[in-house]
Amino acid sequence: MDALFSQLFAGLSLGSVLLLAALGLALTFGQMGVINMAHGEFIMAGAYTAFVLQAFIPDAGVSLLVALPVGFVVGGLLGLLLEVTLISRMYRRPLDTLLVTFGVALVLQQLARDVFGAPNVDVRAPAWLSGAVPFLGMNLPKTRLFILGLAIACVVVLSLVLKLTSLGRRIRATVQNRDLAETSGVSTRATDRLTFFVGSGIAGIAGVALTLLGSIGPTLGTNYIVDAFLVVVVGGIGQLKGAVIAAFSLGLLQATFEYSTTASLAKVLLFVVIVAFLQVRPQGLVSVRTRSLA
Which residue ranges make up the site for other proteins (CB under 8 A)? Answer: 166, 169-170, 172-173, 176-177, 179-189, 288-294
Number of residues that make up the chain: 294
**Least distance between other proteins and beta carbon 21 (Å):** 25
Q: Which is nearer to other proteins, 111 or 173 (CB)?
A: 173
Q: Which is nearer to other proteins, 63 or 239 (CB)?
A: 239
**Least distance between other proteins and beta carbon 142 (Å):** 39
Q: Which is nearer to other proteins, 124 or 178 (CB)?
A: 178
**Least distance between other proteins and beta carbon 184 (Å):** 5
Q: Which amino acid is at 279?
A: Q
Q: Smallest Cα–Cα separation from 19: which of 147, 157, 175?
A: 147
Q: Residue 227 is inside which H or E element, if any?
A: helix 222-235
Q: Which is nearer to other proteins, 61 or 168 (CB)?
A: 168
Q: Which contacts qualify for 68-74: CB closer than 8 Å, 24 or more apart?
A: 68/150, 68/205, 68/208, 71/45, 71/46, 71/47, 71/204, 71/205, 71/207, 71/208, 72/46, 72/201, 72/202, 72/204, 72/205, 73/201, 73/204, 74/45, 74/46, 74/49, 74/204
**Least distance between other proteins and beta carbon 193 (Å):** 14
Cα distance between residue 116 and residue 131, in whole Å: 29
Cα distance between residue 167 and residue 235, in whole Å: 23
Q: Which is nearer to other proteins, 132 or 288 (CB)?
A: 288
**Least distance between other proteins and beta carbon 173 (Å):** 5
**Least distance between other proteins and beta carbon 174 (Å):** 9
Q: Which is nearer to other proteins, 58 or 185 (CB)?
A: 185
Handedness of CA 272, 273, 277, 283 (dihedral sign): negative
